[in-house]
Amino acid sequence: MVSAWLMKARLPLLLLILEVLFIVLFAVTADYEDSARPPLPARRHGGNQSEAMGGGHAQPEGHGAGAAGPGPIATYYPMFQDVHVMIFIGFGFLMTFLRRYGFSSVGINMLLAAVAIQWAMLVSGYIHGHGGKVHIGVTNMLTADFAAAAVLITFGALLGKTSPLQLVVVCFLEIILFSVNEWIGLSLLEVVDVGGSMFVHAFGAYFGLAVSRMLYRKDVEEATKEGSVYHSDLFSMIGTIFLWLFWPSFNSALAVEDAQHRAVINTYLALAACCVVTFAVSALTDPNCKFDMVHVQNATLAGGVAVGTSADMMIGLHGALLIGSVAGALSVLGFKYITPFLASRLKIHDTCGVNNLHGMPAILAAIAGCIASVLADEDNYGYTLYRQFPARSPANETSPEFLHISQHMEISAGKGRTASEQASFQIAALAVTLIIAISGGAVVGLIVRFIPMDQPRGEALFEDSRHWHVPD
Amino acid sequence: MVSAWLMKARLPLLLLILEVLFIVLFAVTADYEDSARPPLPARRHGGNQSEAMGGGHAQPEGHGAGAAGPGPIATYYPMFQDVHVMIFIGFGFLMTFLRRYGFSSVGINMLLAAVAIQWAMLVSGYIHGHGGKVHIGVTNMLTADFAAAAVLITFGALLGKTSPLQLVVVCFLEIILFSVNEWIGLSLLEVVDVGGSMFVHAFGAYFGLAVSRMLYRKDVEEATKEGSVYHSDLFSMIGTIFLWLFWPSFNSALAVEDAQHRAVINTYLALAACCVVTFAVSALTDPNCKFDMVHVQNATLAGGVAVGTSADMMIGLHGALLIGSVAGALSVLGFKYITPFLASRLKIHDTCGVNNLHGMPAILAAIAGCIASVLADEDNYGYTLYRQFPARSPANETSPEFLHISQHMEISAGKGRTASEQASFQIAALAVTLIIAISGGAVVGLIVRFIPMDQPRGEALFEDSRHWHVPD
Amino acid sequence: MVSAWLMKARLPLLLLILEVLFIVLFAVTADYEDSARPPLPARRHGGNQSEAMGGGHAQPEGHGAGAAGPGPIATYYPMFQDVHVMIFIGFGFLMTFLRRYGFSSVGINMLLAAVAIQWAMLVSGYIHGHGGKVHIGVTNMLTADFAAAAVLITFGALLGKTSPLQLVVVCFLEIILFSVNEWIGLSLLEVVDVGGSMFVHAFGAYFGLAVSRMLYRKDVEEATKEGSVYHSDLFSMIGTIFLWLFWPSFNSALAVEDAQHRAVINTYLALAACCVVTFAVSALTDPNCKFDMVHVQNATLAGGVAVGTSADMMIGLHGALLIGSVAGALSVLGFKYITPFLASRLKIHDTCGVNNLHGMPAILAAIAGCIASVLADEDNYGYTLYRQFPARSPANETSPEFLHISQHMEISAGKGRTASEQASFQIAALAVTLIIAISGGAVVGLIVRFIPMDQPRGEALFEDSRHWHVPD
């Protein structure tokens, strides 16, 4: 009896264990960042506090955070909230298109994201940290939402074919691999990816597709509930449009000054062009030239992914429009031809078509970023070249070149990379991302397949009532 | 004939009378606040204008609002809009879960909020004012939204069982009591409650439950339409998620500097933990470990309420997570066991379960705020202690202690309270709130019950078509 | 065969041609605005770049955009995103009320807006430009959304009775006329219209009604699908409420300082009053005093339109409430009595009632703006009078009056207009707008009627399945 109940109660018990773990880890290993703490008079510093505090408290007493310039809330909070809406409303409702899986789509989306943001703050802090406590503030909240996005993209590949228990386990493990991969890309390879197209979208999509391959069962192809109804498609459009609207915030939240403004403009234009081309190609690939709602729900967003790596670069207005246009076409063609191929030939079932919305457009993003990196020089970036690509700063802080640049722009010693070296590293980061995502996803997929975790079959596929009290 | 029409037309006529009243009162007793008025050259001041203007106009001519530092729009408007979305989308759609009451949920929600915000601006201005005109600006718009929230929480307790006429009368009277109670708490008791957990959530919930008790009729328990359908539950999730997303803005909009950043972080973490625990406890209290959509729609939000009083205090990251976790569990258990008990034993029918989402979590918030107040001292707050708890500032402006503090932090003379004195006042404010809410709600409930106001019965319960043209 | 396919494929082919056109035009005739470009050291300036760059690059090297004061993203982006939500969520979902036309409402809304924003950026740049390249930044994104709003209002008049092909052609032509009309109003007539009530709402509505008149066919009156179902009305309320919430951003995004704060307050109050009066008049005009969802969905918003021209003027709090109240009543009466009259007598079928939500309230807005202009003087505006009405600045830069004012307020030479002259120009701008909108709409309507463009008939009216794959 008890063991039967324990089997059923594995998910809620796991959730409670996770939350206790998070509370302990936040208590022991994390603290507010400086600007979220009162400025304490020096004489009152306790010994064990100073570790987490850093130099910020040497500043004059009585001046709160942000006495000089706008504080982090004024700087980051509006765009953070846009991204937050994308994660919980955007992804959540985008997936409600299934006729009998809306509760899970929006509900489990919320649960996974709530687990992911807490866990990602900690893991990312450990990996990027310097031994002291993890400092928590609005910028962690923002990057935690990025990590959650990767998990939710993976969710999109697995939607309707996995139990919530499987998904929570996938989420927990994916966040670790996500953070490792991102750290390799940003800290070891020193590449740039302002909108996270490689580290979020490519990673989340191919990780999810690898898990999906491992979980493959024939009955998924025969499931009868994998379809939409009229109103479920409208609910889905709520998600689509909020994602579409706030994508410029996603791609620019962590950029600065002119690069931030440029990231907003480029993303906005890429999305507008992508929307137009999506409608065009959707009709052209249909014998009666009718639009397909699946394309509108998804492919219109591919431009935001595809411009993500190069959004803050000098790609030109036409460059942004071109990237968005190609992404829209590629994504529709993916839904039309590649998704069926993956399912029938490679046994990779992709419920939401994340390969089309996130995967292939992210590869396009990496290529565009590589090309834009090759073309970057002081002629078009001025000294901001070294802010945009820190690895291109001279390696030697005493070299005349370094000293010349640092008269105009605050820089640290870099790697002295040339444009084509930087471009090579950009592509290397994509390769590393694909390797970690696919191999990691495969291992995680095997884990959640062969440790029994209640994977749904037959009538339980794409069906809420297995895990929810459903009215009617 | 005329009198029959007059009976039917009482609500629209009341609305017109109210709007005329508002227009007159705004014309005679209110004006734009300084930063929303052109800076007038001194020589042009008319006698009757200067009363409403204050010292701001002694400033150099030709400088608009916000010449020094960001103006009120830059400071408050983004968070105001988040809160605004919570009030109209959040509360409005949260209540659309009823299968035949969606028009009323979102429509009457809009009507009540539109009445409440106008009336609250005036009433709050009269109570907090200093005899001159009420000064209207974006901060009033923000606090008016807080007042509207209390009314809409009350609406949640009464949903489906009351006529729009009753609700408008309740709204009108509740705003007055709300404003008096808030004034007692903030100005007489000098307590702090940055997210309004006591003054908004506890007040609105227990006021509403008291009205509900007075309106109790047996046929409510037998009503057949008090339930959801699949898509109405999805509409409700739109409300839930926007409330969940923007709650950090609700709890931090009126905080400053490091305290504002802290309020954002604490609320964000409390909500994340609350969400995870809600799913866990929802499944654990079900024999088949299924999730209940009612819990997801409501209990996931309880963390935002429960951390509301202490959100800007130094409760620690783990403190925020713990408060959120407890609130989630408490709220689910409330839906499961306390709501049925209230209905069957105490004849308190609570349609939306506001006791679980707002009532009990707000009491938890007050207790957490009390504990955090006991623990507050200069060691963890520095001199911001006196900004956080103004009543703890020394009472004597010439005392050495006052002079010492004021070298570091701009303060006014306070009450010289100790930490435990402040904590006692915090609990006293909760007690006063409960007394005013319950007794006020009882009186208002009697008024709208015994003055005939068209209270629905039988088939008209939880049914839109009584007050709306409904298609199909 | 090919020509049959070409007939069917006209829309997607047109969309591709348009997007290629946009890419070429952006590449050749537009560039990032200065604050979205890196600050380039002077010696690196290429000859062909300097044209597009202007004087901003004479500033010290190494300082990005916004080194002094907040940059354009901090200043405009939050309100831009509010307006962006209005365009895509607000207008898109507002129109989903039709039972079988939701895909088109939200989908074609998105398509038209994506075409409109790209095209409007270019056209507006050409018309307002000074021969050089069009400079693209967040302010163009904002004004492009305004132009899109006009197109979507027109869409509201034509909803369900036109093919997507017709609508794209209408959109393309309307943007040109919109931009010309706006330029005449702002640059030739030098009127003010901060919320675009005349240039956006009146223009879009009467342009659309003129097109609708030209497309009139009897079978529209007999169509059976022009109605809502319960849940489609709730989807529509998503649009209504987001429009209602963010309207203060629409009316104030381009205002500054005290005028911006005032525009927020006035719009907020006008909408609150409008909402209350809408409910009242909706019930009063019904024999059973029931509310009509159509009124709540639409007339509650009329206050935002009606206060749009005068929102940043000193109309007083009661002035804003009064304008909003009148607009709500006018709009409900329009739905009740004028829309049927237009359809039956004038053969102008107005699917969404844009005459009631946008047309008549915009005329009210122009009148209110005219009255407020008559009353404007230095007594109530100080020297900001010349910022508010630049044409009232003295014409002669060497006159003593000009020199006196410019000691207090940065001004350019104006036209030396009196208050009543300015008021006359305000009304003249309305007249010009109506003439261009109605005559332009008539011509465009003839074009899309008599060049065969697949206009729906009979069962295809108000029906998605003609242009969409529809589930069920």
Q: Given a cut of 70, is residue C43 above it in pLDDT?
A: no
Residues in chain A: 472
Is B141–C380 a contact, with Cβ atoms under 8 angstroms apart? no
Nearest to B276 among A18, A31, A469 (CB): A18
Q: How far apart are CA A238 and CA C266, in angstroms?
A: 30
CA distance B434 to chain A (A): 32
Say how many C-beta atoms besides its own lie within 10 A of residue B283's C-beta: 24
Structure tokens given for B433 = 């709130």
Is C118–A272 a contact, with Cβ atoms under 8 angstroms apart? yes
Strand partners, C228: C98
Is B238–A84 a contact, with Cβ atoms under 8 angstroms apart? no
pLDDT on residue B68? 56
pLDDT on residue A42? 56
Q: Which one of B81, B226, B237 would you mutate to disrupt binding with A, by most A Cβ within 10 Å of its Cβ?
A: B237
Q: Which one of B73, B101, B109, B142 would you mutate to disrupt binding with C, by most C Cβ within 10 Å of its Cβ?
A: B73
Q: Given a cut of 70, is residue A319 above it in pLDDT?
A: yes
Amino acid occupying residue B45? H
* CB A257, CB C65: distance < 8 Å: yes
* CB B244, CB B274: distance < 8 Å: no
Give the mean pLDDT of A297-322.
97
Is C234–B12 a contact, with Cβ atoms under 8 angstroms apart? no
* CB B121, CB B144: distance < 8 Å: yes
* CB C306, CB C364: distance < 8 Å: yes
CA distance B292 to chain C (A): 22
pLDDT on residue C249? 97
* CB B32, CB C317: distance < 8 Å: yes
Which residues lie below 8 Å from residue B48, measured CB to CB, with a gap of 6+? none
Each residue of A196-244: pLDDT tens digit? Answer: 999 999 999 999 999 999 999 999 988 888 899 999 999 999 999 999 9
Each residue of A174-187: pLDDT tens digit? Answer: 999 999 999 999 99
Q: How far apart are CA C383 and CA C374, in angstroms?
A: 16
Nearest to C281 by CA among A285, B447, B15: B15
Is C19–A277 a contact, with Cβ atoms under 8 angstroms apart? yes
What is the residue-wise DSSP string for B76-106?
HHHHHHHHHHIIIIIHHHHGGGSTT-HHHHH
Nearest to C270 by CA among C252, C255, C294: C252
The model carries a pTM of 0.95
Q: Is the dihedral of CA A383, A388, A394, A397 positive or negative?
A: positive
Q: How far apart are CA A352 and CA A273, in angstroms?
A: 22
Nearest to A291 among C8, C96, C107 (CB): C107
Nearest to C81 among A82, A284, A325 (CB): A82
Nearest to C468 among A280, A293, A409 (CB): A293
Is C261–B137 a contact, with Cβ atoms under 8 angstroms apart? yes
The subunits that touch chain B, with at least 3 C-beta pairs less than 8 Å apart, are A, C
Nearest to A65 among B245, B258, B282 (CB): B258
Number of Cβ pairs closer than 8 Å across B and C?
205
Query: What residue of A is the nearest CA neighbor of B298?
Result: A107
Each residue of C96-139: pLDDT tens digit? Answer: 999 999 999 999 999 999 999 999 999 999 999 877 899 999 99
CA distance C246 to chain A (A): 14
Is A72–B256 a contact, with Cβ atoms under 8 angstroms apart? no
Is B468–C314 a contact, with Cβ atoms under 8 angstroms apart? no
**A41-45, A77-81, C11-15, C413-417: least confident range:** A41-45
Q: Which one of B10, B33, B37 would you mutate to disrupt binding with C, by most C Cβ within 10 Å of its Cβ?
A: B37
pLDDT on residue A65? 38
pLDDT on residue A371? 97
The subunits that touch chain A, with at least 3 C-beta pairs less than 8 Å apart, are B, C
Q: How far apart are CA A40 and CA A63, in angstroms?
A: 10
Confidence grade of residue C68 (pLDDT, cut at 50, 70, 90): low
* CB A65, CB B255: distance < 8 Å: no
Is A264–C138 a contact, with Cβ atoms under 8 angstroms apart? yes
Cα distances (angstroms) measured from residue B107 to each of B94, B201, C295, C301, C354: 12, 22, 11, 13, 21
Each residue of A366-390: pLDDT tens digit? Answer: 999 999 999 999 999 999 999 999 9
b (16+ CB within 10 A) / e for C279-298? bbbbbbbbeebbbbbbbbbb
Q: Given a cut of 60, is residue C42 above it in pLDDT?
A: no
Chain-centroid distance of CA B180 in Å reads: 14
Q: Given a cut of 60, is residue A68 above it in pLDDT?
A: no
Nearest to C241 by CA among A67, B90, A460, A125: B90
Is B290–A78 a contact, with Cβ atoms under 8 angstroms apart? no
Q: How far apart are CA A123 and CA B40, in angstroms?
A: 56
Confidence grade of residue C409 (pLDDT, cut at 50, 70, 90): confident
Query: What residue of A is the nearest CA neighbor of C42?
Result: A382
- Environment class of B47 (CB within 10 Å of its CB; exposed 0-12, middle 13-18, buried 19+): exposed
Is B66–C257 a contact, with Cβ atoms under 8 angstroms apart? yes
Q: Given a cut of 60, is residue A64 above it in pLDDT?
A: no
* CB A109, CB A266: distance < 8 Å: no
ipTM value, please give it: 0.94
Angle at C208 between CA C368 and CA C134, to 5 degrees: 80
Q: How far apart are CA B261 and CA B267, in angstroms?
A: 10
Strand partners, A291: C468
Percent of chain C with pLDDT over 70: 94
CA distance A425 to chain C (A): 23
Confidence grade of residue C418 (pLDDT, cut at 50, 70, 90): very high
Is A293–C107 a contact, with Cβ atoms under 8 angstroms apart? yes
Q: Given a cut of 60, is residue A324 above it in pLDDT?
A: yes
b (16+ CB within 10 A) / e for A293-315? bbbbbbbbbbbbbbbbbbbbbbb
* CB B75, CB B254: distance < 8 Å: no
Q: Which one of A6, A73, A82 would you mutate to disrupt binding with B, by most B Cβ within 10 Å of its Cβ?
A: A73
Q: What residues of chain B lie within 8 A of the CB of A73, using their CB?
A: 252, 260-261, 264
Chain-wide mean pLDDT for chain A? 92
Each residue of A246-294: pLDDT tens digit? Answer: 999 999 999 999 999 999 999 999 999 999 999 999 999 999 999 999 9
Nearest to B88 among C241, C249, C286 (CB): C241
- pLDDT block averages, 10 residues each, chain B of length 472: 86 98 97 93 46 35 48 94 97 96 96 98 92 93 97 97 97 98 97 97 98 94 89 96 97 95 98 98 96 97 98 97 98 96 94 97 98 95 94 92 90 93 97 98 97 91 94 81
**A93-102, A324-333, C54-63, C203-212: least confident range:** C54-63
pLDDT on residue A43? 45
Which residues lie below 8 Å from residue B287, measured CB to CB, with a gap of 6+? none
pLDDT on residue B230? 93
Is C44–A379 a contact, with Cβ atoms under 8 angstroms apart? yes
* CB B317, CB A30: distance < 8 Å: yes
Is B261–A110 a contact, with Cβ atoms under 8 angstroms apart? no
Q: What residues of chain C lie within 8 A of the CB of B89, using their CB?
A: 238, 241-242, 245
Q: How far apart are CA C87 and CA A88, in angstroms?
A: 21
Which residues lie below 8 Å from residue C17, measured CB to CB, with a gap of 6+? none
CA distance A239 to chain C (A): 10
Nearest to A232 by CA among B315, B214, B235: B235
Collapse the DSSP code of C21 into the 3-class scheme (helix H, G, I; strand E, B; otherwise coil) and give the result.
Answer: helix
Mutual angle of helices C102-128 and C164-183, in 10-degree steps: 30
Number of Cβ pairs closer than 8 Å across A and C?
204
Please state the three-class secondary structure of chain A as a single string.
CHHHHHHHCHHHHHHHHHHHHHHHHHHHHEEECHHHCCCCCHHHCCHHHHHHHHHHHHCCCCCCCCCCCCCHHHHHHHHHHHHHHHHHHHHHHHHHHCCCCHHHHHHHHHHHHHHHHHHHHHHHHHHHCCCCCEEECHHHHHHHHHHHHHHHHHHHHHCCCCCHHHHHHHHHHHHHHHHHHHHHHHHHCCCCCCCCHHHHHHHHHHHHHHHHHHCCCHHHHCCCCCCCCHHHHHHHHHHHHHHHHHHHHHHHCCCCHHHHHHHHHHHHHHHHHHHHHHHHHHHHCCCCCCECHHHHHHHHHHHHHHCCCCCCCCCCHHHHHHHHHHHHHHHHHHHHHHHHHHHHHHCCCCCCCHHHHHHHHHHHHHHHHHHHHHCCCHHHHHHHHHHHCHHHCCCCCCCHHHHHHHCCCCCCCCCCCCHHHHHHHHHHHHHHHHHHHHHHHHHHHHHHHHCCCCCCCHHHCCCHHHCECCCC
CA distance A331 to chain C (A): 16
- Environment class of C89 (CB within 10 Å of its CB; exposed 0-12, middle 13-18, buried 19+): buried
Collapse the DSSP code of C316 into the 3-class scheme (helix H, G, I; strand E, B; otherwise coil) and give the result.
Answer: coil
Nearest to C275 among B27, B32, B111 (CB): B111
Is A276–C19 a contact, with Cβ atoms under 8 angstroms apart? yes
Is A23–B291 a contact, with Cβ atoms under 8 angstroms apart? no
Is B233–A103 a contact, with Cβ atoms under 8 angstroms apart? yes
Percent of chain C with pLDDT over 90: 85
CA distance A189 to chain C (A): 25
pLDDT on residue C343? 93
Cα distances (angstroms) measured from residue A421 to each of A184, A374, A417, A426: 17, 8, 6, 9
pLDDT on residue C70? 81
Q: Which one of C6, C29, C73, C109 would you mutate to disrupt binding with A, by most A Cβ within 10 Å of its Cβ?
A: C73
Q: Given a cut of 70, is residue A150 above it in pLDDT?
A: yes
Is A38–B290 a contact, with Cβ atoms under 8 angstroms apart? no
Is A39–B291 a contact, with Cβ atoms under 8 angstroms apart? no
